[in-house]
Amino acid sequence: MKKILILFTIPLLYYSINFNNSDDLIRIRVLANSNSKHDQSIKEVISNNLKSKLYELLKNENNIENARKIIKENIYNVEEIVKDNLKDENYSFSINYGLNYFPEKKYKNKKYSAGNYESLLITLGEGKGNNWWCILFPPVCLLEAEESEEVEYNFFIFDFINKIFH
C-alpha cells in the first residue's frame, strides 16, 4: 500500500513544485466585452465551453512542448466555439496565442505576479469587462470542469502527504 501511495504522490509533488515556475505554465484568459450582466454571462458560457474542449485535448498531456502543439493545432476549434457563442451578438472577438499581459492574479491561495505570460487570450468585443482565467497547462483548473463538487482529490492527497511528512 505504501508503495502505491508513494508512486501516486511523486507526480503530484512534481507538479506542485513545478507549478510555481511560470515558464512551465500556459494560461488562458477570456476578456468580456463589458461588465454588463449579459456580456458577463456570454463570457461564462464561452469559458465553460472552452474548458470542456481544452480539457479533452490536454487531460493526458504532461509535456509542455506537446501541449503547445495541441493548442496551436486547435486554435481553429477555439475560434469556432467563440464564433458559435457570439452568433447572435453585435461584436467581434480576437484570439491570440503567445505572450500576453496578465495583471496580478490569485488562484487557489497562490499569488501570480503581473507580467507577460504564455497564454491563449480571447478578447470579446472591446474587452473592457471582467475576465475569466485559469492555468491551461498543466490543466489544473480544467480538471475542475470534470470533477464533481463532492470529490476533492487534491485536498485529500495533500492532507495525506502532510500527515506522512510532518
pLDDT(159) > 60: no
Query: Residue holding cell 504532461?
Result: 62
CB-based contact 101:82 (threshold 8 Å): no
- Exposure string of 150-162, with b = 16+ CB inside 10 Å and e = fewer, is eeeebeebeeebe
Q: How confident is the model at residue 21 (pLDDT cuts 50, 70, 90)?
A: low
Mean pLDDT computed over 55-63: 92
Q: What is the pLDDT of residues 120-147, one digit of tens each?
A: 999 999 999 999 998 889 887 765 544 4
Range of the domain at 159: 2-165
CA distances from 20 to 14, 62, 71 (A): 11, 16, 22
Phi-psi region of 127 (alpha: psi -120 to 50; beta: other; left: phi over 0): left
Cα distance between residue 120 and residue 160, in whole Å: 34
As a whole number, mean pLDDT of residues 85-110 equals: 90
Per-residue model confidence (pLDDT) at position 18: 43
pLDDT at 64: 96
How many Å separate Cα 62 from the centre of its chain? 14
- Look at the chain and report how many structural domains it folds into: 1
